[in-house]
Structures are given as C-alpha cells and as structure tokens.
C-alpha cells in the first residue's frame, strides 16, 4: 500500500510517499512544494494544486493523510494554510483517494509513542523508522513523513472501526 502524507502550508507544503508492506515501511519519495512570498495568493494556490496533481499522478498513492490544522494566534497564516490544505484535499478527492486527517498529537503518539513529543524526537523517529541516513529537511518534509507513518500504522484499525475489511 502506498501512503502519501502531507504537512500543509502555503509557503512550504511537505510531502512524503511511503510504501507499507506488512509491517515494513519504505520511503518512496519526499520533499516539499514551495511558493514564493509576495506572489498573489491565487497564484500560489494554483502552483500548489498543479504540483500536487503532478505528484499524485506520478506516484499513485492508495490513500492520503493530512495534518489537521490547529488554530494559532496568526489568523492570516491559519487561513492561508487552510486554503493550501483545501487545494490538496480537492486534488486527492478528484482522484477518488481516501483522505485521513490526524491532529499533531495523534501523529506524535503514532510515531514516537508520546503525544507531547518534541519536534526533534519525531524527526529522529522518522529517520529511524524509514532507515534514512539523515533527518529530512526542511522540517515540513519530516512532518509529512510522520503523517504518512501515522496513517500507515492506523489504517488497518481505522478500516476495521469503519466496517471495511482488507483483502
């Protein structure tokens, strides 16, 4: 099963594709989509949409997972990130892909085993679980891989809870 994890953002959107075979997780491709500050919002969203569509069509995930937004003090930033997140979800929905959402605490719990883990702990676990030589940079990429790992660990349980059985 191929899983795509996304760490949504308007300036930097991290992505990570992993394959899950049994209990083994293998990185396929990871990186980020970047848009330039000062570019009109609609242009940035279009760039994200087109890049996401290209990635989905090239790497053909079976399922996708995205980090839920938590509201912070910067309302303008929260709206921009929400729009970028929506663009990603639209592209995935257009391809009929199931979309899962996880809070930062759920991701930390799944990857580190502790919902209040620090960012560095999550990054080190991503490196270890995927047998990478270094922590992926920028941080958004490691976060996206963590979301993918979380979903890979959670998908069987989620499907059972929703009455879906895997063959």
Active-site position among 7, 19, 143, 159: 7
Does the annotation count 140 as an active-site position? Answer: yes
Residue 67 annotated in active site: yes
Binding residues: 7, 67, 140
Contact 112, 77 (CB under 8 A): no
pTM attached to this predicted model? 0.91
Which one from 34, 140, 143, 159 is the annotated catalytic residue?
Answer: 140
- Residue 143 burial (C-beta neighbours within 10 Å; 0-12, 13-18, 19+): buried
Task: Identify whether 19 is a catalytic site residue.
Answer: no
pLDDT block averages, 10 residues each, the chain of length 167: 96 97 95 97 97 98 91 72 95 97 94 90 96 96 97 77 55
């Amino acid at each position: 099963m191929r899983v795509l994890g996304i760490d949504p953002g308007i300036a930097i959107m991290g992505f990570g594709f992993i394959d899950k075979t049994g209990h083994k997780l293998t990185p396929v491709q990871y990186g980020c989509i970047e848009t330039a500050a000062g570019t009109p919002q609609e242009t940035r969203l279009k760039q994200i949409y087109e890049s996401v569509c290209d990635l989905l069509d090239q790497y053909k995930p079976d399922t996708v997972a995205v980090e839920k937004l938590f509201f912070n003090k910067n309302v303008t930033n929260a709206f921009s990130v929400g729009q970028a997140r929506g663009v990603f979800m639209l592209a995935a929905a257009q391809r009929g892909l199931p979309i899962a959402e996880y809070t930062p605490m759920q991701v930390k719990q799944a990857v580190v085993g502790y919902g209040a883990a620090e960012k560095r702990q999550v990054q080190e676990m991503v490196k270890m679980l995927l047998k990478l030589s270094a922590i992926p940079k920028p941080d958004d990429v490691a976060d996206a891989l963590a979301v993918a790992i979380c979903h890979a660990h959670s998908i069987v349980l989620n499907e059972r809870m929703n009455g879906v059985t895997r063959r």
